[in-house]
């Protein structure tokens, strides 16, 4: 039998979709103290405080206002307004003025938070909202990367990003190594100026579109990494896995890239010591900093990734 990346992962991700599980988890008294391990806080100022600490430690940031699967236009508009306020505050930081080189400030966004899943005209609404966001980011001196969501959104998301890159060539996108299509996408999208964040992938996907075993996902990640490093874009290596972190450095060196020609990315609160170690060693390291009230989906994906997180969480609920 092939080893699953994490045998509990599909079950946790499936249970996470149940409204009863959601209500039980969000109401449990102990939840909040564990959630704060993975998110910077519920407010914009919480995110800015976390970003300041990371920037002062030599790391770069990508700030994400938590939100996804929005089915209502008002909520999608509110998400855009929140990003605009965030970008206005980021524009005031000294780190916003780094034109021409790697931008130390970035925001990450999910198109489903901007309206992509709306029943009518979802694609057009998300495109228009993302356009506003990119214009504001350009003015602020901040980069944007569009997160990858489940595989049913991949074509729509990549086509929106391609369209936007005509006006905002610095716009980044995410490819997920667990998808069978991704090695091909890496080849297609590794042209000059492209910024691709390569991650393993965090959603529950069917065997028809995604590799299921850890070995297959890791092998795909390594193949994709080579394609991106050999390409002409700017690879963003999003992984906490020591194998992938080491492979990035080796593959970059093999492709004649210096430390400034790619970056490592990790999530807020995960392997903080390793993040600091890489940055101190001269690597570019960006930390994904999520904030906001809609932390449930993000939090459940982090629990599903690592059984130890789930055990820790359940134990803390049980001992209250």
Annotated binding-site members: 110, 176, 200-202, 239-240, 301-302
Q: Are 123 and 157 in contact (CB under 8 A)?
A: no
The values of phi and psi at residue 62, to 5°, are: -130, 115
Residue 138 in tokens: 């350009």
Q: Name which of 231, 224, 281 is nearest 247 in CA terms.
A: 224
* Minimum separation from the CB atom of position 275 to ligand FAD (A): 10
Both tokens of residue 257?
A: 């890239």
Q: Is 58 helix (H, G, I), strand (E, B) or coil?
A: coil
Give me the least distance between CB of 120 and ligand FAD, in Å please.
26
- Is 77 or 306 the residue whose CB approaches ligand FAD more closely? 306
Q: Which residues bind ligand FAD (CB under 6 A)?
A: 147-148, 174, 176, 199-203, 238-241, 244, 265-267, 270-271, 288, 302, 305-306, 309
SS3 for 230?
Answer: helix
Binding residues for FAD are 176, 200-202, 239-240
- From 171, 273, 283, 183, select the one nearest 231 (Cα to Cα): 183
| Cβ contact 43:291 at 8 Å | yes
Q: Residues 59, 195, 197, 286: which is the catalytic one?
A: 197
| Closer to ligand FAD by Cβ: residue 88 or 250 | 250
Out of 59, 103, 147, 286, pick the active-site residue.
147
Q: Which two tokens stand for residue 180?
A: 């069978």
Q: Considering the complex, what minimum distance in angstroms separates the CB of residue 176 from ligand FAD?
A: 5
d(CA 40, CA 63): 10
Annotated catalytic residue 147:
yes
CA–CA distance, 113 with 79 (Å, rounded to integer): 7
Nearer to ligand FAD, 160 or 202 (CB): 202
Whichever of 41 and 201 has its CB closer to ligand FAD, that residue is 201
Q: Which residues are annotated as part of the binding site for substrate?
A: 110, 301-302
Q: What's the token pair of residue 78? A: 């509110």
Nearer Cβ to ligand FAD, position 120 or 303? 303
* Residue 248 CB, nearest approach to ligand FAD (Å): 11
197 a catalytic residue: yes
* Shortest CB 221 distance to ligand FAD, Å: 7
Distances (CA, A) of 43 to 127, 191, 293: 26, 37, 8
Active site residues: 147, 197
């Amino acid at each position: 039998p092939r080893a699953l990346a994490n045998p509990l992962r599909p079950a946790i991700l499936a249970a996470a979709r149940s409204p009863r599980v959601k209500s039980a988890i969000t109401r449990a008294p102990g939840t909040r103290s564990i959630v704060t391990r993975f998110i910077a806080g519920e407010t914009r100022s919480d995110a800015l405080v976390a970003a300041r600490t990371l920037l002062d430690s030599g790391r770069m940031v990508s700030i994400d206002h938590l939100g996804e699967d929005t089915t209502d236009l008002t909520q999608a508009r509110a998400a855009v307004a929140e990003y605009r306020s965030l970008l206005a505050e980021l524009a005031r930081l000294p780190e916003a003025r780094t034109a021409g080189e790697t931008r130390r400030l970035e925001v990450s966004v999910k198109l489903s938070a901007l309206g992509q899943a709306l029943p009518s005209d979802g694609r057009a609404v998300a495109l228009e909202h993302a356009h506003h966001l990119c214009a504001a980011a350009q003015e602020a001196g901040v980069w944007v990367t569009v997160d990858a969501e489940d595989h049913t959104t991949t074509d729509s998301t990549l086509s929106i990003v391609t369209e936007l890159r005509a006006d905002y060539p610095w716009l980044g996108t995410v490819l997920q190594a667990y998808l069978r299509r991704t090695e091909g996408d890496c080849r297609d999208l590794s042209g000059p100026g492209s910024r691709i964040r390569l991650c393993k992938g965090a959603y529950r996907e069917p065997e028809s579109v995604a590799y299921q075993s850890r070995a297959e996902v890791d092998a795909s990640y390594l193949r994709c990494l080579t394609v991106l490093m050999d390409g002409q874009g700017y690879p963003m290596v999003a992984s906490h896995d020591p194998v992938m972190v080491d492979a990035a450095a080796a593959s970059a060196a093999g492709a004649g890239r210096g430390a400034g020609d790619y970056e490592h990315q990790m999530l807020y609160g995960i392997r903080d010591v390793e993040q600091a170690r890489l940055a101190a060693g001269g690597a570019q390291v960006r930390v994904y900093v999520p904030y906001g009230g809609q932390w449930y989906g993000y939090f459940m994906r982090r629990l599903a990734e690592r059984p130890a997180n789930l055990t820790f969480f359940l134990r803390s609920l049980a001992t209250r």
